[in-house]
Amino acid sequence: MGGFSRAALVLVIIGAVNWLLVGLFQWDLVTAIFGGDIVRESSGISRIVYVLVGLAGIYAIRFLFDSSTERAQ
Q: Examine the pLDDT at 7 and tell me if it is beyond 70.
A: yes
Q: Alpha helix locations (H) across 1-73? A: 3-25, 29-34, 44-64, 67-72
The string of pLDDT tens digits covering residues 18-71 is: 999 999 998 888 888 888 777 777 788 888 989 999 999 999 999 988 877 555
Q: How far apart are CA 50 and CA 21, in angstroms?
A: 8
Stated pTM of the model: 0.75
Q: Running DSSP on this structure, what letter comes out for residue 34?
A: H
Is residue 27 within 8 A of residue 45, CB to CB? The reply is no
Domain that holds residue 21: 3-72
Structural domains counted in the chain: 1
